[in-house]
Structure 1
Amino acid sequence: MKKVLVTGGAGFVGSHLCEQLTHSYEVYSLDNYFTGSERNHVDKVNYIKGDTAEISELISFVPDLVFHLGEYSRVEQSFEDIELVWEYNKRGTFSVLQFCRKHEVKLVYAGSSTKFGDGGLGKFQSPYGWSKASNTELVECYSEWFGLDYAIVYFYNVYGRREISQGKYATLIALFTEKMRSNLPLTVVSPGTQVRNFTHVDDIVNGLVLVGEKGHGDGFGIGSNEAFTVKEVAELFGGEIEMLPERKGNRMSAEVITEKTRALGWEPTHSLNDYISDMKDRNWS
């Protein structure tokens, strides 16, 4: 059985990816548990604790494929966490690239759709956005310089089971769900007209696995065509809305680029509206 390494395998998306991969591969996770959790562990996955910067010391085998999801992944918080952004997204990813280069392993790199935000300006709007966009360039350079086999994917606002629901790293759908359960106002960062394409984690994982098996090169977006403003999402939940001041790095829109992923046979199958309606029926109707 082929071996697959998932960095960030104890995180939200990574844990779902690991779970899906166990059906066809021997799966290993490398995670430092910065936002990952042992609660996300799934059966048949081999968990290794540590930073991606130490991948060569921590991984004693040669995988057939590496999915690199283990980076810092918040926009607004990245201004105050810039040292972590550098450590995890620059130093860590350089080490992963060196590991894949040395062992001639295909790399699937999880880029960020912030790269396409606001007509391409998104990659300059935050330390996170810049680090991710510049990393996609570095991955491409490793292909040109050293013949690295790679594919770059882009997620669009992932939601679903195991999202982080509390603290400054909480994601929007989980945060709104938690506030509704606690009968608290839904906090919307002004102006509230920021457009997002929310994509269910199962659709993300299906795309990831497909790209891992068949994709080569850049441009594999994995995102739903359904677009909502943040305020519209709050209105779908139906709670009281509290507007917050604007924040740095908060892009207004991002182009959804899915043509190459769809050409491999991928299609989104989940709807945010249905997901929220189901939660409302089960939790607070």
Structure 2
Amino acid sequence: MKKRILVTGGAGFVGSHLCERLAKDVNNDVYSLDNYFTGSKANHIENVTYIEGDTADIAELVTFTPDMVYHLGEYSRVEQSFDDIEKVWRYNKDGIFAVLEFVRRAGCKILYAGSSTKFGDGGLGRSASPYAWTKATNTELVMNYGAWFNVPYAITYFYNVYGPREIQTGKYATLIALFKEKMKNGEALTIVSPGTQKRNFTHIDDIIDGLVLVGENGYGDEFGIGSGEAFTIKEVAQMFGGDIEMLPERKGNRMTADVVTAKTEALGWKPKRKLKEYIDEQREKKWR
């Protein structure tokens, strides 16, 4: 019998890559639940069944019992979350409760995609923005469901994911994709001051390797998936080689984050891709 796997946010950047990897296994039936807030139907993958709607309505929308839920479908922008707090609450707080109740009744495992902002600035990052607070408290709720109701779970933390299918334009664009777009258009690379904030950029392929490995083998614990290489935003801009334009500081912009990958590495995971190599590849492709 095939394994039924549900990916929330399956039409998004990370979720579409996860669906693609899972669908390659003929023993999997893969389903996506996505409200297309930042996801796109252009990211649809062959042999994946797509359901449209909010995770808060998962009990009405998903009419089968999955064997596994990868819960990636949450609001995921730091600075913009101050302006979008109603969406943040709907997608992250109403959503996590509905998903955990669904998983509890289904009797299946959940892999929750937490946020590395929880570890920002020595552990102070959890309250730096509406986004960071909801994600950090959601990890606690997932752990509590494990303790209260014996829900099997694993929690992962991503570190600044980059690669194909990133959002390249608009207020939800991610940094590497935004820099690519600006280089293609001959525009200055905009950096939020002070520019010395460090990030651990991790290629999407390494993220998916970690997600699948933890999904299959990780239980009752937290697993970081992030490259050990850290660069300041200014250093990244210098790798691209464009002109730089500094922007004013913004609330919620953490300076550092501890990378906690030991437990993931103990399962056999190691990052394979390097940011500079990716940037050089994109330069050769004329930033396409």
> TM-score scaled by structure 2?
0.98
Structure 2 distance, partners of 1:276, 1:193, is 20
Structure 2 distance, partners of 1:166, 1:62, is 37
User: Residue 261 of structure 1 aligns to which amino acid in structure 2?
Assistant: T
Structure 2 distance, partners of 1:178, 1:162, is 13
**What is the RMSD computed on CA atoms of the aligned residues?**
0.6
Q: 1:116 aligns with which of 106, 111, 119?
A: 119
Point out where structure 1 has 5 or more consecutive residues left out of the alignment. none
- Asked whether 1:29 is paired with 2:32, we answer yes
- Asked whether 1:268 is paired with 2:271, we answer yes
Which contiguous aligned blocks of 4+ residues in structure 1 show a shift greater than 3 angstroms?
A: none
For 2:213, what is the secondary structure of its paired residue? helix
Structure 2 distance, partners of 1:247, 1:92, is 27
For 2:173, what is the secondary structure of its paired residue? coil
Cα deviations across residues 165-211 of structure 1 (Å, max 9, x unaligned)? 00000000000000000000000000000000000001000100000
User: Residue 21 of structure 1 aligns to which amino acid in structure 2?
Assistant: L
Instruction: Spell out the pairing of 1:104-253 with structure 2 (5 A cutoff).
Output: 104-253=107-256
- Asked whether 1:69 is paired with 2:108, we answer no
User: By how many angstroms is 1:218 displaced?
Assistant: 2.5
For 1:43, what is the secondary structure of its paired residue? coil
User: Residue 240 of structure 1 aligns to which amino acid in structure 2?
Assistant: D
Cross-structure match for 1:84: 87
Cross-structure match for 2:262: 259
Point out where structure 2 has 5 or more consecutive residues left out of the alignment. none
For 1:249, what is the secondary structure of its paired residue? coil
Structure 2 distance, partners of 1:157, 1:92, is 23
Cross-structure match for 2:14: 13
> TM-score scaled by structure 1?
0.99
User: By how many angstroms is 1:217 displaced?
Assistant: 1.9
Alignment: residue pair count: 284
Cross-structure match for 1:52: 55
Cross-structure match for 1:4: 5
User: By how many angstroms is 1:103 displaced?
Assistant: 0.9
For 2:56, what is the secondary structure of its paired residue? helix
User: By how many angstroms is 1:34 displaced?
Assistant: 0.1
Structure 2 distance, partners of 1:124, 1:31, is 27
Structure 1 distance, partners of 2:194, 2:14, is 28
